[in-house]
A and B are shown apart, each in its own frame.
Chain A
Amino acid sequence: MKDRSKTKEQLIEELQKARQKVSVLEAKIGLQEHVERAQAPLEWHPPGDIIRDTVKGERGKPYEPPYGDLTALNTSHMILDLIGKDVLTEIVADYLDLLETSGAIYEINGDYALGIFSSGWCRLLDTGSRKLCDTDDNRVALDSGKWHCHESCWRRASKVSIETGQAVDIECYGGIHLYAIPIWAGGEIVGSMSFGYGDPPSEPEKLRKIADRYRLEVGELLGTANSYKSRPEFIVDFAKKRLHTAAKLVGTIIQLKPAEGALKKWHECLEEKVNVHAGELTDVSKRLEHEINERKQMQERLLRQERLAVLGELAGGVGHELRNPMGVISNAVYYLKTILSEADETTREYLEIISSEIRRSEKIVSDLLNLSRTRPAEKEEIKLPRLVARVLEKQQPPPWVDVTVEMADDLPLVLADPQQIGQVLTNLLSNAGAAMPKGGSLDIRAKSENDSVYLSVSDTGCGIADEVADKIFEPLFTTKARGIGLGLTVSKNLVEVNGGSIEVKSKEGRGSTFTITLPIREAQL
């Protein structure tokens, strides 16, 4: 009666203790379950770059749907073009790697910016339903309503998410779930992106229904369904979060793209402006270049004048100094000639040599002095034919040169310094003679036209090379082995102090023509 001896209170107490034990156990079990649940995620490892592999084909062949690429039908081009297929693939791969199902990105109008089927299940059902459409034309197929995967993915998921602006989570015709969200860009929905998740159905009833709908074999479906490796729930959550992030990313890029476009336009505009400025700069630099050239030329002219002035001063000094001793030598020779009139031929010849050399030196000195300071013209009325005759008498061309003198009958008087113009003519005749060592013709012509008289001296000699034609009037320029190159400079100066000008026309090997232009005496005008 001992058991009976237990009181009701004792029994209640025991019961309570047992209940406590149970609850502790229950708690323990709960904790165990919780721990197990917590441990489960750690056991699942993402399978790797499935999408990247299949799309990019770095490992194995990328999956290409047998019906072709649906993005080819894209007419919106917004997401597709602004982000580009490659970047879109990268973005989608980021979350689809977690799930290995399918994913799609739609433009706002439902055009595919991207469609990826990475699981055997999704590929099987997609190609199956595509076949149901019974057409080669993808556009027709998409509009046919028979492409179940497209119908689920676009019409029932993404389209709804675009219209509602909300995430849409449905069970698709293929028995898995579809999660679609809108893509927002700057407060506007520009498209939608989605993925499938969840295990393919394994219940026979469900599989049969799908087989009917897709007109596929149940067995094939079952095999494919079993090959899918189930994902823990947290992976799906993780993938959803990433989908949202991806949508935000895509939206932001799209939002920024117009700015980028504007930036690009601005760049182009800037470039254009730069080009315009560059053009202006080119003009300016051309002008500058021109100016620099002009200044250079002016500087050269100044330099030349300066050089000429310095040279003239020096020449003047030297010339004057030389004239005195030359004068003495000249006098001495004259004296000797006078008293040695009976001397032998050689002596007389030598005296003559000294005289002629003095004359030559005198000519050089005169040129030097004329260069240093051209005497102002003492103008008088000149009859050119007489002047030419006088000069020809003094400066006789060598005998192997044929001389022709042609003076116009109506030649007016010229107002000029006869000595200076005579000297110019002498220089020209001397040059012409020197240019024709083997003979040739020397033509002296004069004619009048308008207010001027033109006196020209032409030879058929060696002529002047084009590259030196500009220089022949410059001091110290000479083509002769002898001579210091002052003759033409002096001639130019002399003609100019008489109000005239001198110019040359020449052809190398053919000869030269120097023309002096002098103004006609005013009274005759």
Chain B
Amino acid sequence: MSENLRILVVDDDRRMAKTLSDIFSAKGYFVGIAHSGAEALEKVRAAGKAEASQFGCVLTDVRMPEMNGIELHKAITEIEPALSVVLMTAYATDDLVREGLERGAIASLTKPLKINSLLNFFAALRKKSVIAIVDDDPKFCSTLRQILWTREMQVTIITDPSRVVEALTPDVQTVLLDMKLNVHSGLGVLKKIRLNHPRLPVVLVTGYREEMAAAIETGLRINAYTCLYKPVEIKDLLKVLAEIRHQELGSILGRPFKKRR
């Protein structure tokens, strides 16, 4: 993801597109404008040819003639699956919106837009995810760090569970917590994290499904996001992390954060 976030604003209402574009530009973003789904798709496709010109976010109106926002979203996912799409609508309840959210749109915003939260969202979107790995197995940690690094994620490794609270900087978005630590109990560490960061998503990791069953159950009850079992399938891990990021971003735009079971 580029350092400078590029935003594509799509609305058939030209003034809506223009005012949004002007605000985002004033805030230092590069903004593209499209007044129809087709035009937007064209721009996404053209921008995709060079990494530097790729859009980081598409903000699209839902109800537009010919190609609506949901159809546009669907078309975009086919060419740029990772591109974040945010819907905006004048309609509070809209079946189209529901469909869009199910398809993976980050959020749906009601007009008039709350620009501040949108700007917060862009800021978060611009930043890489920071993942903290709490594990006393250095090998596991470094392997994982490398994998996540290639996926545009920043990794903080915490091998000393007793210092977990101090080590968790505010930019940490997700914690991967090994439940079988040498000295400390994973559950104890989780409780410590919860005390200081009640909403921080924590993914439990363990190689001992049976032995740790009770601890994991308790962990999930005190708001752990989910539990992954070693050997961790990277695909599963990435999916969980993407999901968490997606929810994080959505929650900035007012969507509820839902824990996975």
Contact = CB atoms under 8 A, between A and B. Distances in A.
Interface of A: 319-321, 323-324, 326-332, 334-335, 338-339, 358, 362, 366, 369-370, 373, 375-376, 378, 380, 418
Contact of B112 (A326, A335, A376, A378): A326
A326 B256 CA distance: 26
A334 B27 CA distance: 11
A328 B15 contact: yes
Interface stretch (B89-97, B124-132, B133-141, B189-197): B89-97
Nearest 4 CB-CB pairs, A to B?
A: A331-B19, A330-B112, A327-B111, A323-B90
Interface in B2-25: 13, 15-16, 19-20, 22-23
Given A321-B90, A323-B112, A335-B26, 4 more contacts: A334-B19, A334-B115, A369-B93, A376-B93
A338 B13 contact: no
Contacts of A327: 16, 90, 111-113
Contacts of A330: 112-113, 115
Interface of B: 13, 15-16, 19-20, 22-23, 26-27, 90-93, 110-113, 115, 256
A324 B26 contact: no
Interface of A is mostly: helix
A326 B19 CA distance: 12
Contact of A331 (B23, B90, B91): B23
A488 to B, nearest CB: 19
A149 to B, nearest CB: 114
Contacts of B20: 331
Contacts of A338: 23, 26-27
Contact of A358 (B19, B92, B110, B112): B112
A362 to B, nearest CB: 6
Nearest to A359: B112
A418 B254 CA distance: 12
Nearest to B255: A378
Contacts of B111: 323-324, 326-327
B256 A380 contact: yes
B90 A324 contact: yes
A521 to B, nearest CB: 15
A335 B27 CA distance: 10
Nearest to A320: B90
A378 B254 CA distance: 13
B15 A335 contact: no
B156 to A, nearest CB: 30
A289 to B, nearest CB: 43
Contacts of B13: 324, 328
Nearest to A358: B112
18 contacts: A324-B90, A326-B111, A327-B90, A327-B112, A328-B13, A330-B113, A331-B16, A331-B19, A331-B23, A331-B113, A332-B19, A334-B19, A338-B27, A366-B92, A373-B92, A375-B92, A376-B93, A418-B256
